[in-house]
Amino acid sequence: MKVSLTTIGSATEDTFLVSNDIMVIDNHERDITCEKLIAFEYGAKLPTEYFESHVGGTAVNVAVGLARQGIETAVCSVIGNDNAGRNVLQVLEGEGVDTELINVNRKNKTDRSLIIIDNKTKERTIFVHKDAGKETEQDFLRINTDCIYLSSLKYNWQKTFNIVIKLAKKKNKRIFFTPGVLQVRAGMNKLKNFMKVVEVIFLNLDEAIEFSLAKIKNKEIDFQKDSKNIEKLAKIIASTGPKVVVITAGSAGAYIYHKGLKHFKPKPVQIQDITGAGDAFASGFLAKYLQGETIEKASRNAILNSSSVIAEVGTLVGLRQF
């Protein structure tokens, strides 16, 4: 049976700047929450190794990733009436992604980000400018796909989550979720009604810890970052509703909890840019999962997709296609 999915989230124009002239400053003694700073020579004119703009944003990245692997997708997002917005539509339509649910904001510009990459370490710093993305009046009730992928939302996100809960309950939509900063900070106790309708949740390890902080503080888990405690952490998250809990851990790979914990190691790759790695993992996993494949096959496909993306600069360039 053909499966269809709508992504809800950001659509952006991402500009990537790769430089050899970034200086890293140790700031640990001043601020443990901001351990390193980057700097450039003040007033200098510096060369760059790479300076290009690409279409991105979580809703776009995941939709394109799924479309390339045979899942019928649509994007529900907001763009501006500008060249960046038109580029978003052109890329999505070229990938076969439905754009009917994309709202064009006539007053504001398409969201943008500047991604500065240290060419020596491949670490990145991202400047984000939300403009059209502040728009919250979207017609989510028009979503007619089997599944919904809900990603990071900033403005009036509680209202959107309540609508998605209704869609899940009244129209039997399958819900997949990657929380953003605000949802992670809110914690799973404040999202308990929403978590009950989530089928698969995607978090990185630090997000999983923060998301579950209330439980950890209550000493239900004495947390250290090893597989035994990651399984305890995943069980806590799964107890709120999700059938599958995905916890990514960077160079350590990913931990998938579904009737027990399984660890999947990453494929060795020469990293160029880690931006979009999580989105690529989510689309790679869901592509196989929605096609009825095993958790093992879905996880290995996710690892391959993510590894392919970080070997390139840009979030769409390395997405695998079948």
Q: How far apart are CA 299 and CA 177, in angstroms?
A: 16
Question: Where on the phi/psi map is residue 172: left (φ > 0), alpha (ψ -120 to 50), or beta?
Answer: left
Q: Which of 18, 85, 81 is nearest to 271 (CA)?
A: 18
pLDDT tens-place string over residues 51-76: 999 999 999 999 999 999 999 999 99
Helix-, strand-, coil-residue percentages of the chain, each rounded to 5: 35, 25, 40
Q: Which of 98, 179, 103 is nearest to 136 (CA)?
A: 103
For residues 309 and 287, the answer to whether their CB atoms sit within 8 Å is: no
Close Cβ partners of 101 (under 8 Å, ≥ 6 residues apart): 6, 74, 75, 76, 77, 138, 139, 142, 143
pLDDT at 136: 56
Q: How far apart are CA 192 and CA 210, in angstroms?
A: 15
pLDDT at 152: 83
Angle between helix 58-67 and 83-94 (nearest 10): 20
Secondary structure letter of residue 13 according to DSSP: E
Residue-level pLDDT, tens digit, the chain, 322 residues? 467 999 999 999 999 999 999 999 998 888 876 889 999 999 999 999 999 999 999 999 999 999 999 999 999 999 999 999 999 999 999 999 999 999 999 999 999 999 999 999 999 999 999 999 886 567 888 999 999 999 988 888 888 899 999 999 999 999 999 999 999 999 988 999 999 999 999 999 989 998 988 766 655 555 555 667 899 899 999 999 999 999 999 889 999 999 999 999 988 899 999 999 999 999 999 999 999 999 999 999 999 999 999 999 999 999 998 7
Close Cβ partners of 280 (under 8 Å, ≥ 6 residues apart): 61, 65, 302, 305, 306, 308, 309, 310, 315, 318, 319
Q: Which of 154, 158, 133, 156 is nearest to 75 (CA)?
A: 133
pLDDT at 218: 56
Q: Which residues pair with 51 in a beta bridge?
A: 17
* H or E, element range at 194: helix 192-195
Q: How far apart are CA 59 and CA 245, in angstroms?
A: 20
Give residue for tokens 């308990």.
192
Q: How far apart are CA 92 and CA 5, in angstroms?
A: 14
Q: How far apart are CA 209 and CA 233, in angstroms?
A: 7
Question: Where on the phi/psi map is residue 91: left (φ > 0), alpha (ψ -120 to 50), or beta?
Answer: alpha
What does the block give as tokens for 144? 């007619």
pLDDT at 153: 84
Give residue for tokens 């049976």.
1
What does the block give as tokens for 117? 């990459």
Q: How far apart are CA 242 and CA 150, in angstroms?
A: 14
pLDDT at 165: 95
pLDDT at 95: 97
Close Cβ partners of 146 (under 8 Å, ≥ 6 residues apart): 3, 4, 5, 173, 174
pLDDT tens-place string over residues 21-53: 999 999 888 887 688 999 999 999 999 999 999
Which domains does the chain possess? 4-177+266-310 (3.40.1190.20)
Using DSSP, state whether 189 is helix, strand or coil. coil
